[in-house]
């Protein structure tokens, strides 16, 4: 587990396990909360770095450079595979003197395509847990990224029937959470954002006045790392080990 995740947030094992009342609104992240996602990017990046086989830079240095390129690409082009593809190409161009031939271009595109070709791999007991939670609460998927990619993954996951709403946002920040809350007429005290990312799921939801549930994933994308905030007075933050633990609280 990355040190950036460690803070003084309460541990799931130490909090009361009496369930919250019914009719809570549970806003639920998708990538690396409901299904595997970042591990495919990690594999693609490893393949890219080994293909690049840089004579001067170590694999770690190439990876650091790619992280910086990805950060810039996301700011200008948003999240999603199209941005990842663009980042790999840019990284290649910036780190090598070789011309980017059509052959090399298509080879690099294959690394990104390998992610799109993945079957959806649900995290343990996600389907059963959502089915149970949906009998007692309102579930809304709140994810970010490319709308077509995220909607397609939801359809292929088979989880769609459990959700009362689906929001694919450009960015998950304070304003976005306030907008979602207003759109669904959420009461802050009964609304919880659930996800694996401190930067996108937990901290901005707390800042927007919501409760939050942090379920860390060992392979969370480095650009999503952040120290978890303390909840303001009157708001709650839980940290759970697995998604299935939610049924002990809700
Ligand atoms: Mg996530």
Question: In angstroms, what is the span from residue 173 Cα to ligand 1's centroid?
Answer: 13
Question: In angstroms, what is the span from residue 191 Cα to ligand 1's centroid?
Answer: 18
Question: In angstroms, what is the span from residue 174 Cα to ligand 1's centroid?
Answer: 16
Q: 65-80 pLDDT, tens per residue?
A: 999 999 999 999 999 9
pLDDT at 5: 43
- Which residue, of 62, 93, 116, is where some domain finishes? 116
Residues 228, 110 share a domain: no
Write the CATH number for 131: 3.40.50.1000
For the chain, the DSSP string reads --GGG-SSPPPGGGS--PPPPS--EEEE--BTTTB--HHHHHHHHHHHHHHH--SSS-HHHHHHHHHHHHHHHHHHH-SSHHHHHHHHHHHHHHH--S---HHHHHHHHHHHHHHHTPPP-BPTTHHHHHHHHHTTSEEEEEEES-HHHHHHHHHHHT-GGG-SEEEEES--SHHHHHHHHHHTT--GGGEEEEES-IIIIIHHHHHTT-EEEE---TT--GGG--PPPPPPTT--EEE-SSGGGGGGT-
Q: 39-68 pLDDT, tens per residue?
A: 999 999 999 999 999 999 999 999 999 999
Residues 12, 129 share a domain: yes
As residues whose CB is below 5 A from the ion ligand 1, the structure lists 29, 31-33, 196-197
Residues 145, 238 share a domain: yes
Question: In angstroms, what is the span from residue 39 Cα to ligand 1's centroid?
Answer: 12
Residues 239, 128 share a domain: yes
Task: Determine what percent of the chain is predicted with pLDDT higher than 70.
Answer: 94
Residues 190, 78 share a domain: no
Write the CATH number for 103: 1.10.150
Question: In angstroms, what is the span from residue 17 Cα to ligand 1's centroid?
Answer: 25
Residues 153, 104 share a domain: no
Question: In angstroms, what is the span from residue 216 Cα to ligand 1's centroid?
Answer: 9
What range defines the domain where residue 185 resides? 3-35+123-248
Residues 25, 149 share a domain: yes
Instruction: Kindly tell me if the per-residue pLDDT of 208 is higher than 70.
Output: yes
Q: 82-97 pLDDT, tens per residue?
A: 999 999 999 999 999 8
pTM of the predicted structure, to 2 decimals: 0.89
pLDDT at 144: 95
Residues 143, 236 share a domain: yes
Question: In angstroms, what is the span from residue 32 Cα to ligand 1's centroid?
Answer: 5
Residues 164, 82 share a domain: no
């Amino acid at each position: 587990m990355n040190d950036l995740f460690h803070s003084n947030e309460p541990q799931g094992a130490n909090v009361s396990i009496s369930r919250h009342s019914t009719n809570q609104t549970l806003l639920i992240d998708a990538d690396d909360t409901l299904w595997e996602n970042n591990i495919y990017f990690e594999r693609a990046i490893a393949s890219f770095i080994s293909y690049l086989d840089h004579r001067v830079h170590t694999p770690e240095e190439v990876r650091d450079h790619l992280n910086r390129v990805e950060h810039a690409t996301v700011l200008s082009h948003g999240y999603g595979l199209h941005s990842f593809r663009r980042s790999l190409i840019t990284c290649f161009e910036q780190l090598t003197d070789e011309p980017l031939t059509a052959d090399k271009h298509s080879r690099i595109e294959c690394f990104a395509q390998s992610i799109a070709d993945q079957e959806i791999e649900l995290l343990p007991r996600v389907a059963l847990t959502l089915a149970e939670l949906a009998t007692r609460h309102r579930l809304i998927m709140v994810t970010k990224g490319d709308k077509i990619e995220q909607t397609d993954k939801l359809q292929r996951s088979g989880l769609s029937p459990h959700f009362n709403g689906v929001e694919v946002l450009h960015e998950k920040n304070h304003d976005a959470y306030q907008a979602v809350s207003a759109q669904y007429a959420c009461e802050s005290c009964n609304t919880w954002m659930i996800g694996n990312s401190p930067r996108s799921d937990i901290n901005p939801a707390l800042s927007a006045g919501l409760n939050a549930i942090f379920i860390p994933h060992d392979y969370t994308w480095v650009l999503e790392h952040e120290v978890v905030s303390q909840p303001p007075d009157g708001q709650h933050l839980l940290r759970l080990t697995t998604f299935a633990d939610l049924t002990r609280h809700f």
